[in-house]
Amino acid sequence: MKVHSIVNMTVTMRAVALAALVGVSFPATPALAANALTGNEVKKLVAGNTIHFEVAGKGRFKAYLDPAGKVTRKQGDKVIEGKWRVKDDGALCVHYAGNEERCGTVKKNSDGSYTRIDDANTTNHWTKISKGKDL
């Protein structure tokens, strides 16, 4: 192995270790992509169903995604409506009035739950999916 290859590898290993210590996230890895649902899988999972989910630092929510593309989200007594869609790459996008559209990949976890990941950051953890409207 050439000396410059060893130096580059050492620098890379140090950068990864430092990032792990300070909590820096790297972009989605191929392993993460392997667990990501396809667009058809996402549509089948969410259309006409209610997602029960948690957002770190913001609490628990429920969102009903009707098959026509309307979403109704509820947290406690607060209800907000918007639109949802699934992009060709499988990303689930949600848009509420007054906010930007947010899109994220849906990944199935080994425990049967799901995680939505926007820009390589976990945005919410789906703890349960109920058939039909369960707000």
pLDDT of residue 97: 87
Residue spans of the chain under pLDDT 70: 1-34
pLDDT of residue 70: 98
pLDDT of residue 118: 86
pLDDT of residue 35: 82
pLDDT of residue 8: 41
In a 3-state reduction of DSSP, which class is residue 34? Answer: helix
Output phi, psi for 120, to 5 deg.
65, 10
Q: In the CATH hierarchy, which fold is given to the domain comprising 30-131?
A: Lipocalin (2.40.128)
Measured CA to CA, the distance from residue 19 to residue 12 in angstroms comes to 11
pLDDT of residue 34: 55
pLDDT of residue 29: 39
